[in-house]
Amino acid sequence: MKTENPKTKTENLSARPRALVLYGYGLNCDYETQFAFARAGAEAVRVHASELISGQVSLWDYHLLAVPGGFSWGDDHGAGVILALRLKLALGTALREFIAAGRLVLGICNGFQVLVNLGLLPGFKGREGERLVALIPNDCGNFRDAWVHLKVLPSNCLFTQGLELLELPIRHGEGKFYAPREVLQELADGGQIVIKYATAAGEAAGGKFPENPNGSLMDIAGICDASGRVLGLMPHPEAHITSTQHPTWTLDAETWRRRGEPYPEKAGAGLTFFKNAVEYLRGAVV
Protein backbone atom coordinates (compact mmCIF):
# COMPACT_ATOMS: atom_id res chain seq x y z
CA MET A 1 0.00 0.00 0.00
CA LYS A 2 1.30 3.40 -0.92
CA THR A 3 1.73 5.70 2.09
CA GLU A 4 1.00 9.39 1.63
CA ASN A 5 3.96 11.63 2.36
CA PRO A 6 3.00 13.62 5.49
CA LYS A 7 4.89 16.65 4.24
CA THR A 8 2.59 16.94 1.22
CA LYS A 9 -0.61 15.77 2.87
CA THR A 10 -3.25 18.50 3.19
CA GLU A 11 -6.38 18.67 5.29
CA ASN A 12 -9.35 20.99 5.37
CA LEU A 13 -9.75 21.59 9.09
CA SER A 14 -13.41 22.53 9.31
CA ALA A 15 -13.81 20.61 12.57
CA ARG A 16 -11.27 20.47 15.40
CA PRO A 17 -7.60 21.05 14.59
CA ARG A 18 -5.17 18.99 16.65
CA ALA A 19 -2.75 20.72 19.01
CA LEU A 20 0.28 18.91 20.39
CA VAL A 21 1.14 20.23 23.86
CA LEU A 22 4.60 19.13 24.92
CA TYR A 23 5.28 18.02 28.50
CA GLY A 24 7.96 16.31 30.56
CA TYR A 25 11.49 16.97 31.83
CA GLY A 26 10.40 20.00 33.86
CA LEU A 27 7.77 21.61 31.63
CA ASN A 28 4.93 22.36 34.02
CA CYS A 29 2.23 24.42 32.30
CA ASP A 30 1.04 21.66 29.99
CA TYR A 31 -2.34 21.02 31.60
CA GLU A 32 -3.22 24.73 31.55
CA THR A 33 -2.14 25.01 27.92
CA GLN A 34 -4.11 21.91 26.96
CA PHE A 35 -7.17 23.35 28.74
CA ALA A 36 -6.79 26.67 26.88
CA PHE A 37 -6.66 25.01 23.47
CA ALA A 38 -9.59 22.73 24.34
CA ARG A 39 -11.62 25.74 25.51
CA ALA A 40 -10.79 27.42 22.20
CA GLY A 41 -12.12 24.43 20.23
CA ALA A 42 -9.02 22.37 19.44
CA GLU A 43 -8.36 18.71 20.13
CA ALA A 44 -5.44 19.25 22.48
CA VAL A 45 -3.19 16.30 23.31
CA ARG A 46 -0.37 16.24 25.85
CA VAL A 47 2.65 14.45 24.38
CA HIS A 48 5.79 13.64 26.34
CA ALA A 49 8.93 15.19 24.88
CA SER A 50 10.59 11.76 24.69
CA GLU A 51 7.74 10.44 22.52
CA LEU A 52 8.16 13.28 20.03
CA ILE A 53 11.95 13.19 20.02
CA SER A 54 12.08 9.40 19.52
CA GLY A 55 9.52 9.45 16.72
CA GLN A 56 7.00 7.41 18.68
CA VAL A 57 4.60 10.31 18.05
CA SER A 58 4.67 12.05 14.67
CA LEU A 59 4.65 15.83 14.55
CA TRP A 60 2.72 15.57 11.27
CA ASP A 61 -0.30 14.13 13.06
CA TYR A 62 -0.86 17.61 14.51
CA HIS A 63 -1.55 21.07 13.16
CA LEU A 64 -0.02 23.07 15.99
CA LEU A 65 2.93 22.52 18.31
CA ALA A 66 2.84 24.23 21.71
CA VAL A 67 5.89 24.31 23.97
CA PRO A 68 4.59 25.53 27.33
CA GLY A 69 6.27 27.11 30.33
CA GLY A 70 8.28 25.47 33.07
CA PHE A 71 11.92 24.63 33.67
CA SER A 72 12.92 22.04 31.09
CA TRP A 73 15.95 20.13 32.33
CA GLY A 74 16.03 22.47 35.31
CA ASP A 75 17.30 25.29 33.03
CA ASP A 76 20.76 23.70 33.28
CA HIS A 77 23.15 25.31 30.77
CA GLY A 78 20.60 28.12 30.31
CA ALA A 79 16.83 28.26 30.04
CA GLY A 80 15.48 26.06 27.27
CA VAL A 81 18.92 25.14 25.91
CA ILE A 82 18.87 21.36 26.42
CA LEU A 83 15.31 20.85 25.17
CA ALA A 84 16.09 23.00 22.15
CA LEU A 85 19.21 20.96 21.38
CA ARG A 86 17.36 17.66 21.65
CA LEU A 87 14.52 18.90 19.44
CA LYS A 88 16.98 20.31 16.90
CA LEU A 89 18.93 17.06 16.64
CA ALA A 90 15.77 14.97 16.25
CA LEU A 91 13.42 17.31 14.40
CA GLY A 92 15.32 20.35 13.14
CA THR A 93 14.40 19.97 9.48
CA ALA A 94 10.92 18.64 10.23
CA LEU A 95 10.10 21.66 12.39
CA ARG A 96 11.00 24.08 9.61
CA GLU A 97 8.98 22.02 7.11
CA PHE A 98 6.07 21.93 9.56
CA ILE A 99 6.00 25.73 9.66
CA ALA A 100 6.52 26.09 5.90
CA ALA A 101 3.49 23.84 5.38
CA GLY A 102 1.29 26.41 7.12
CA ARG A 103 1.17 24.83 10.57
CA LEU A 104 1.61 26.76 13.79
CA VAL A 105 4.07 26.88 16.68
CA LEU A 106 3.52 28.60 20.03
CA GLY A 107 6.20 28.95 22.71
CA ILE A 108 5.25 30.34 26.11
CA CYS A 109 7.91 31.39 28.65
CA ASN A 110 10.27 28.38 28.72
CA GLY A 111 8.78 27.52 25.33
CA PHE A 112 9.82 30.95 24.02
CA GLN A 113 13.33 30.29 25.29
CA VAL A 114 13.29 26.96 23.45
CA LEU A 115 12.16 28.53 20.16
CA VAL A 116 14.87 31.17 20.40
CA ASN A 117 17.55 28.56 21.05
CA LEU A 118 16.21 26.47 18.15
CA GLY A 119 16.47 29.47 15.83
CA LEU A 120 12.78 29.20 14.90
CA LEU A 121 12.55 32.77 16.18
CA PRO A 122 13.09 35.30 14.82
CA GLY A 123 13.22 33.13 11.69
CA PHE A 124 14.29 35.88 9.31
CA LYS A 125 13.82 34.93 5.67
CA GLY A 126 16.96 33.27 4.38
CA ARG A 127 18.28 32.79 7.94
CA GLU A 128 15.78 30.32 9.32
CA GLY A 129 17.39 28.23 12.05
CA GLU A 130 19.98 30.84 13.05
CA ARG A 131 20.16 31.81 16.71
CA LEU A 132 20.05 35.62 16.56
CA VAL A 133 18.37 36.66 19.83
CA ALA A 134 18.48 35.54 23.46
CA LEU A 135 16.48 35.55 26.67
CA ILE A 136 18.88 36.22 29.52
CA PRO A 137 18.64 36.71 33.33
CA ASN A 138 16.33 39.47 34.54
CA ASP A 139 17.98 42.80 35.28
CA CYS A 140 16.30 42.82 38.70
CA GLY A 141 18.47 39.85 39.66
CA ASN A 142 15.71 37.52 40.75
CA PHE A 143 12.72 35.47 39.63
CA ARG A 144 9.65 37.60 38.92
CA ASP A 145 6.09 36.37 39.49
CA ALA A 146 3.66 39.21 38.77
CA TRP A 147 0.93 40.47 36.47
CA VAL A 148 2.03 42.89 33.77
CA HIS A 149 0.36 45.27 31.35
CA LEU A 150 0.99 44.58 27.68
CA LYS A 151 0.53 46.45 24.44
CA VAL A 152 -0.02 44.44 21.26
CA LEU A 153 1.53 45.98 18.17
CA PRO A 154 0.07 45.76 14.64
CA SER A 155 1.59 42.74 12.90
CA ASN A 156 0.76 39.72 10.77
CA CYS A 157 0.99 37.46 13.83
CA LEU A 158 -2.20 35.42 13.63
CA PHE A 159 -2.25 34.63 17.38
CA THR A 160 -2.67 38.29 18.42
CA GLN A 161 -5.24 39.60 15.96
CA GLY A 162 -7.90 41.73 17.67
CA LEU A 163 -5.81 42.36 20.78
CA GLU A 164 -4.59 45.80 21.86
CA LEU A 165 -4.10 46.17 25.62
CA LEU A 166 -4.22 43.32 28.09
CA GLU A 167 -2.86 41.94 31.37
CA LEU A 168 -1.16 38.59 31.75
CA PRO A 169 1.01 37.02 34.44
CA ILE A 170 4.75 36.49 34.09
CA ARG A 171 6.85 34.05 36.08
CA HIS A 172 10.46 33.76 35.00
CA GLY A 173 14.05 34.35 35.99
CA GLU A 174 15.51 34.58 32.47
CA GLY A 175 13.13 36.76 30.50
CA LYS A 176 15.19 39.73 29.35
CA PHE A 177 14.97 39.92 25.57
CA TYR A 178 18.37 40.71 24.13
CA ALA A 179 19.61 41.10 20.55
CA PRO A 180 22.22 43.19 18.72
CA ARG A 181 21.03 46.59 17.54
CA GLU A 182 20.82 45.55 13.90
CA VAL A 183 18.65 42.53 14.76
CA LEU A 184 16.33 44.69 16.86
CA GLN A 185 15.98 47.06 13.93
CA GLU A 186 15.22 44.21 11.55
CA LEU A 187 12.57 42.89 13.93
CA ALA A 188 10.97 46.33 14.13
CA ASP A 189 11.14 46.96 10.38
CA GLY A 190 9.62 43.55 9.64
CA GLY A 191 6.74 43.97 12.08
CA GLN A 192 7.92 40.98 14.12
CA ILE A 193 7.83 42.71 17.51
CA VAL A 194 4.35 41.64 18.53
CA ILE A 195 3.96 42.39 22.25
CA LYS A 196 5.62 44.97 24.49
CA TYR A 197 5.54 45.60 28.22
CA ALA A 198 3.55 48.74 28.97
CA THR A 199 2.08 50.93 31.69
CA ALA A 200 -1.50 50.53 32.90
CA ALA A 201 -2.45 53.32 30.49
CA GLY A 202 -0.89 51.48 27.56
CA GLU A 203 2.11 53.75 27.28
CA ALA A 204 5.61 52.41 26.62
CA ALA A 205 7.28 50.99 29.72
CA GLY A 206 10.51 52.63 28.57
CA GLY A 207 12.60 49.94 30.19
CA LYS A 208 11.47 51.01 33.67
CA PHE A 209 10.92 48.46 36.43
CA PRO A 210 8.40 47.04 37.33
CA GLU A 211 6.41 47.86 34.19
CA ASN A 212 9.23 46.21 32.26
CA PRO A 213 9.85 43.36 34.71
CA ASN A 214 13.10 42.02 33.31
CA GLY A 215 14.89 44.80 31.42
CA SER A 216 13.97 43.53 27.93
CA LEU A 217 15.41 45.73 25.20
CA MET A 218 12.71 47.84 23.52
CA ASP A 219 10.28 46.46 26.17
CA ILE A 220 9.88 43.31 24.04
CA ALA A 221 7.61 40.66 25.59
CA GLY A 222 6.97 38.57 22.46
CA ILE A 223 7.98 38.22 18.82
CA CYS A 224 6.78 36.26 15.81
CA ASP A 225 8.57 34.88 12.77
CA ALA A 226 8.31 36.40 9.31
CA SER A 227 5.27 34.25 8.45
CA GLY A 228 3.32 35.23 11.58
CA ARG A 229 2.66 31.54 12.30
CA VAL A 230 5.29 31.14 15.03
CA LEU A 231 4.87 33.15 18.24
CA GLY A 232 7.03 33.24 21.33
CA LEU A 233 6.19 35.27 24.42
CA MET A 234 7.25 35.41 28.05
CA PRO A 235 3.82 36.23 29.59
CA HIS A 236 1.40 33.33 30.13
CA PRO A 237 -1.85 33.61 28.12
CA GLU A 238 -2.92 30.14 29.30
CA ALA A 239 -3.05 31.57 32.84
CA HIS A 240 -5.81 34.05 31.97
CA ILE A 241 -8.49 32.01 30.25
CA THR A 242 -11.34 33.07 32.54
CA SER A 243 -11.94 36.31 34.43
CA THR A 244 -11.74 34.43 37.74
CA GLN A 245 -8.00 33.91 37.18
CA HIS A 246 -7.34 37.65 37.40
CA PRO A 247 -6.14 38.76 40.86
CA THR A 248 -8.90 41.40 41.19
CA TRP A 249 -11.78 39.10 40.41
CA THR A 250 -12.96 38.71 44.01
CA LEU A 251 -13.07 42.50 44.40
CA ASP A 252 -14.98 42.75 41.13
CA ALA A 253 -17.38 40.03 42.25
CA GLU A 254 -18.02 41.84 45.53
CA THR A 255 -18.72 45.07 43.64
CA TRP A 256 -21.36 43.27 41.57
CA ARG A 257 -22.79 41.61 44.69
CA ARG A 258 -23.26 44.96 46.40
CA ARG A 259 -25.20 46.12 43.38
CA GLY A 260 -27.42 43.10 43.83
CA GLU A 261 -26.27 41.59 40.53
CA PRO A 262 -24.50 38.30 39.77
CA TYR A 263 -20.84 38.46 38.80
CA PRO A 264 -20.63 38.13 34.99
CA GLU A 265 -17.83 35.59 34.63
CA LYS A 266 -16.32 35.95 31.17
CA ALA A 267 -13.36 34.88 29.09
CA GLY A 268 -9.93 36.13 30.09
CA ALA A 269 -7.75 38.07 27.68
CA GLY A 270 -5.43 35.12 27.13
CA LEU A 271 -8.11 32.97 25.50
CA THR A 272 -7.97 35.12 22.35
CA PHE A 273 -4.48 33.79 21.51
CA PHE A 274 -5.81 30.24 21.39
CA LYS A 275 -9.09 31.10 19.63
CA ASN A 276 -7.19 32.94 16.91
CA ALA A 277 -5.00 29.90 16.30
CA VAL A 278 -7.98 27.53 16.12
CA GLU A 279 -9.97 29.83 13.84
CA TYR A 280 -6.99 30.20 11.51
CA LEU A 281 -6.50 26.44 11.29
CA ARG A 282 -10.21 25.83 10.70
CA GLY A 283 -10.06 28.11 7.68
CA ALA A 284 -6.73 26.80 6.39
CA VAL A 285 -5.65 23.86 4.33
CA VAL A 286 -2.44 22.59 5.93
For each of the domains in the chain, give its residue range(s) and CATH number, in order of start. 18-282 (3.40.50.880)
- pLDDT of res. 5: 47
Q: What is the pLDDT of residues 66-125, one digit of tens each?
A: 999 999 999 888 899 999 999 999 998 999 999 999 999 999 999 999 999 999 999 998
- pLDDT of res. 14: 57
- pLDDT of res. 3: 33
Q: What is the pLDDT of residues 222-266, one digit of tens each?
A: 999 999 999 999 999 999 999 999 999 999 999 999 999 999 989
From the candidates 32, 167, 174, 238, give the one annotated as an active-site residue: 238
Judged by DSSP in three states, 21 sits in strand
pLDDT exceeds 80 at position 10? no
Angle (CA) 245 194 192, round 5°: 155
What percentage of the chain exceeds 70 in pLDDT?
Answer: 94
Q: Which residues of the chain form beta strands (DSSP E)?
A: 18-23, 43-48, 64-67, 104-108, 134-136, 144-152, 165-172, 176-178, 193-198, 220-224, 230-233
Among candidates 253, 151, 274, which has minimal Cα distance to 201? 151
Return d(Cα 191, Cα 152) in angstroms, integer.
11
From the candidates 29, 109, 157, 224, give the one annotated as an active-site residue: 109
Q: Residue 55: which pLDDT band, with cuts at 50, 70 and 90?
A: very high
Strand 193-198 versus strand 144-152 pairing type: antiparallel
Q: Region 22-45: what's the mean pLDDT?
A: 98
pLDDT exceeds 90 at position 11? no
Return d(Cα 259, Cα 190) in angstroms, integer.
49
- pLDDT of res. 143: 97
From the candidates 149, 172, 236, 240, give the one annotated as an active-site residue: 236
Residue 224 annotated to the active site: no
- pLDDT of res. 4: 41
pTM of the shown model: 0.94
Q: Average pLDDT, whole number, for the chain? A: 94
Residue 240 annotated to the active site: no
Residue 109 annotated to the active site: yes
DSSP string of 230-261, one letter each residue: EEEESS-GGG-SBGGGSTTHHHHHHHHHHTT-
Q: Region 22-44: what's the mean pLDDT?
A: 97
pLDDT exceeds 60 at position 283? yes
Return d(Cα 265, Cα 74) in angstroms, integer.
36
pLDDT exceeds 80 at position 285? no
Q: Which residues contact 264 (CB under 8 A, 6 or more apart)?
A: 256
DSSP string of 47-86, one letter each residue: EEHHHHHHTSS-GGG-SEEEE-SB-GGGGTTSTTHHHHHH
- pLDDT of res. 126: 86
- pLDDT of res. 76: 84
In the chain, the amino acid numbered 268 is G
